[in-house]
Amino acid sequence: MDSYSLLFDVLYVASIASVIAIFYAIFALSRKNRVNLNLERFLLLSKDESNRLTTLEPVFLMHLSIALGVGLSIVFVLFDPLWPLPVLSFIRIILLVVSVPLILGLATAFVWRIQRYDQSKKVEKGILHSSRNFSRLSSELQLVLILAIVFTTTELILSWVTSLFLYDAVLNIIRNSLVVLFYALPTVNLVQSFDRTLPSMRLPFKLSDVMEGKVDASEIKMGVNQISEFERFERLSYNSCVEIGACETACPATAAGRPLSPRVLVRKVALLDNEKGPSSEPLSAVGEDELWSCTSCGACVHSCPVAVKHLDIIYDLRRNLVANGRIDKDKTTLLQNLSQNQNPYGFNSGSRADWAGDQCIPTFSSKPSAEYLYWVGCICSFDQRAQTVAKSLAKILSQAGVSFAILGTEELCTGDPARRLGEEGRYQELAYQNIEKMNTYGVKKIVTTCPHCFNSIKNEYPQFGGNYEVIHHTQLIADLIALERIKIPKEKIQEISVTLHDACYASRYNNIFQEPRTILKERGSDIHEMRRNKDKTFCCGAGGSNYWYKVPQQKSIASIRTHEARETGADMIATECPFCLSMFEDSLRVSEGNPMQVKDVAELVAELLPASK
């Protein structure tokens, strides 16, 4: 046997061993982290990844190019001795053709990674309290990803020339080793958490269990004080971050120059865990302003290709701050208002239904047979501008012949501002009170104008015994138009150019995309889409209770989104959330540029309907 053949055999065996090592690492880590790697999970993951492929998200396509490129390069090396066979030689040609778009995707990923590296260093300078080697370790991890991209790209190129197998095999072994060391754990995390939806939120306790004596209140721990108190899935999640940077690119807080990068936050927690162990305190590494900067828009979680759940970590650390009284005057006032007046404004709850005084809108106490409960929400009850949205929906429902009623003064805040702030106890108190009232009246169907109320009642209240059919007002209006129960007079239609802002809690959290667009088209609007739309929307800045307090920032999140709206050339911003409406009106009032109006979708429909009799 000549030296070439011997080297060939050694490298071939080593390549096979490196592939086996990848699978072994994945299965070993899944067992260690108690993640079930059954066939059903992989099929569900494949379906989910296929659905994301149809959205043509650039970051996901680049990540997919890397994953498929790794797989294809492994196939080329492992089957190299068999390619001369007639049948396989044809298959090889097909695979070589397939490699071309993957090489292009990898090249794009390489360029993006270089850009992300440069941007990440700029972000870190404004966030880190002390470097502690963070920047160096971050650079090393990003370099590993860049090397993996370069090696994989080179392998695919070398695969076109069979005589270069030895070089191809060496790169394959090195790249596979990098996968074992750095990417097996993220793979396990992806299998575990890909279907953990944005509305999912860790439930530390149930107030009903405390009231019934099933749980001792003194034993309840709110939030996370030590690393060991994170749930297993949370520790796997933050340890799986490989600094891809998609979360940082999508984060509105980072874009606004706030002291938050989702990437930096989870990596700091991971490094603290690795360096100081489970007894260390995450708040020793994470700053309070970092946590308060989050708007809970979910862009970080949605954009991460390895399913890191940044929001769970942020919520648990916020809960710790609230439990220990580490909140400022604005946040304290918010919680006091919720406690004393059951609304975040602090207004007398007896005035909650004043907006409906001249609308002849029944309450459930006077009309318990109503088909729908219209859940008005705090902002549409107390904010004078937002009250127009409530009146518009009431007009639409009345003219469509929909049987509906409101709770009036019996409606309380859903508790969403308290929960997002980190006050789980106050949230559950309000939730249980609302659920008890609605169940007493036998409520079955609920329509809301506020996506935050919608999300709470639809996705969170079922945990506490509140099971209802919940519909967002854009969904109901679209249905009424389709059923011709609402007819917009054609002679009243005036074509206007509109850009729709997709509210985070309607679109990204609850997949409401088409309904508001359908309504706007029926209304005669010329829709100009912003570059970030639907599930890739950009936050207005009000979520995560940010509406009620201020954080350090270089510019407002709403001003960034307002600029994107102006870029479309539209004359109006259409909204589907009263908080977004308020944020944009404030932003347009102080920003420079072409004048724009802001109106809710319900207002745009109601203004064309004949006056109610």
Q: pLDDT tier at 583 (50, 70, 90 boundaries)? A: very high
Q: pLDDT tier at 577 (50, 70, 90 boundaries)? A: very high
Task: Judge contact between 543 and 295, C-beta under 8 A.
Answer: yes
pLDDT at 88: 80
pLDDT in tens, 166-196: 888 889 999 999 999 999 999 999 999 988 8
pLDDT at 64: 81
CA-only gyration radius of the chain, Å: 27
Amino acid at 263: R
Highest mean pLDDT out of 56-65, 347-356, 485-494: 347-356
Three-state secondary structure string covering 142-191:
HHHHHHHHHHHHHHHHHCCCHHHHHHHHHHHHHHHHHHHHHHHHHHHHHH
Q: pLDDT tier at 161 (50, 70, 90 boundaries)? A: confident
Q: Mean pLDDT of all residues in the chain?
A: 91
Which whole-number Å values give the CA distances from 200 to 179, 455, 459, 476, 548, in the listed order? 30, 11, 8, 25, 23
Q: pLDDT tier at 55 (50, 70, 90 boundaries)? A: low
pLDDT at 476: 98
pLDDT at 1: 54
Question: Which residue is associated with the tokens 């347009």?
Answer: 588
Which distant-in-sequence residues (6+ apart) come within 8 Å of 89 by Cβ? 83
Residue 116 CA to residue 208 CA, distance in Å, equals 47
Between the CA atoms of 97, 101, 106 and 111, what dihedral angle is there, to the nearest 10 degrees? Answer: 140
Residue 394 CA to residue 378 CA, distance in Å, equals 16
Domains and CATH numbers, the chain: 3-193 (no CATH), 212-323 (1.10.1060.10), 344-481 (3.40.50), 487-606 (3.40.50)
Identify which has the larger pLDDT, 549 or 216. Answer: 549
pLDDT at 351: 93
Q: What DSSP line would sit under 456-487, residue for residue?
A: IIIIIGGGGT---EEEEHHHHHHHHHHTTSS-
Residue 131 predicted with pLDDT over 70: no
pLDDT in tens, 419-440: 999 999 999 999 999 999 999 9
pLDDT in tens, 4-37: 788 878 888 888 999 999 999 999 999 999 988 8
**pTM for this entry:** 0.92
- From first CA to last CA, the distance across the chain in angstroms is 98
pLDDT at 613: 54
pLDDT in tens, 472-492: 999 999 999 999 999 888 777
Residue 52 predicted with pLDDT over 80: no
